[in-house]
Amino acid sequence: LAKTTQPISMDSYEGQEVNITCSHNNIATNDYITWYQQFPSQGPRFIIQGYKTKVTNEVASLFIPADRKSSTLSLPRVSLSDTAVYYCLVAEPYNTDKLIFGTGTRLQVFP
Amino acid sequence: EPEVTQTPSHQVTQMGQEVILRCVPISNHLYFYWYRQILGQKVEFLVSFYNNEISEKSEIFDDQFSVERPDGSNFTLKIRSTKLEDSAMYFCASKGGRQETQYFGPGTRLLVL
């Protein structure tokens, strides 16, 4: 399973765009990149998943460059309720079922 | 929107007692999981379950742990003889197909005294 590296913490203000970058230098050909969000004392919540280029949904965008060695989660116009821990995970769904969570990025949004 | 549910939300037990944590996965999902998160630490994989059998388990999932899908809707985690270090949040997750996303429940906070 590819190891991921992401910043331990980030601060932002309401209304700003937040970009969290994750490094996964050893990503394998069949690996997908998935981001989860976790609020205190709650289960991880799926945000977005992608394989290459750009994926967008109603919550976020995920940018993946051609070499796929990194990815960037973009949260447009964050609010206080976006304060949470964000996890980047890389896994190949046909080889393993388990998700390996790192320490994530703790995003703090200020008013 | 369908969601994974877990009961109880909190459980306090004495060391050495058996506990059963319950989960109702999303209807029509086929793959089921348990994870745990000790306070202040990472979310850790425990076990995955598909087609009525364990498909993968971690080193944490020793003989004290077992899982069961007793009927068409419930998925349970049993800890036979709890230890202090079993105190954690336990999350159930499910997904519909092999390549699909895992959806997590709200968790059960287990405290072993």
Q: Dump pLDDT digits (tens) for A54-91.
A: 999 999 999 999 999 999 999 999 999 999 999 999 98
Q: List the beta bridge partners of residue B95.
A: B31
Report pLDDT for A3.
84
Report pLDDT for A30.
86
Chain segment A2-50, per-residue pLDDT in tens? 689 999 999 999 999 999 999 999 998 988 999 999 999 899 999 999 9
Report pLDDT for A87.
96
Chain segment B20-42, per-residue pLDDT in tens? 999 999 999 999 999 999 998 99
Which of the pair, A1 or A36, is modelled with greater confidence? A36
B109 CB burial (10 A radius; 0-12, 13-18, 19+):
middle
**Collapsing DSSP states into helix, strand and coil, what is residue A82?**
helix
Confidence at A94, pLDDT banded by 50, 70, 90: low
Q: Retrieve residue A87's tokens.
A: 């996890």
Chain segment B43-89, per-residue pLDDT in tens? 999 999 999 999 999 999 999 999 999 887 899 999 999 999 999 99
Q: List the beta bridge partners of residue A88.
A: A35
Report pLDDT for B73.
87
User: Other C-beta atoms within 10 Å of B40: how many?
Assistant: 5
Q: Retrieve residue A75's tokens.
A: 């949260």
Residue of A41, A49, A103 with shortest CB distance to B42: A103
CA distance A12 to A107: 7
Give yes or no for a cis peptide into B8 (omega within 30° of 0).
Answer: yes
Backbone φ and ψ of A25, nearest 5°: -60, -30
Q: Retrieve residue A70's tokens.
A: 């990194």
Inform me whether the pLDDT recorded for A96 exceeds 70.
no
Q: CA-based angle B34:B39:B44, to the nearest 5?
A: 30
Report pLDDT for A95.
61
Residue of A32, A43, A97 with shortest CB distance to B106: A43
Report pLDDT for A1.
58
Residue of A42, A87, A93 with shortest CB distance to B99: A93
Interface touch B99/A94, C-beta < 8 Å: yes
- A7 and A70 in contact (C-beta within 8 Å)? no
Report pLDDT for B72.
78
Instruction: Please give the average per-residue pLDDT across A80-109, as a whole number.
Output: 88
- List the single best residue of A3, A42, A46, A98 to mutate versus B (max B Cβ within 10 A): A98
Interface touch B104/A43, C-beta < 8 Å: yes
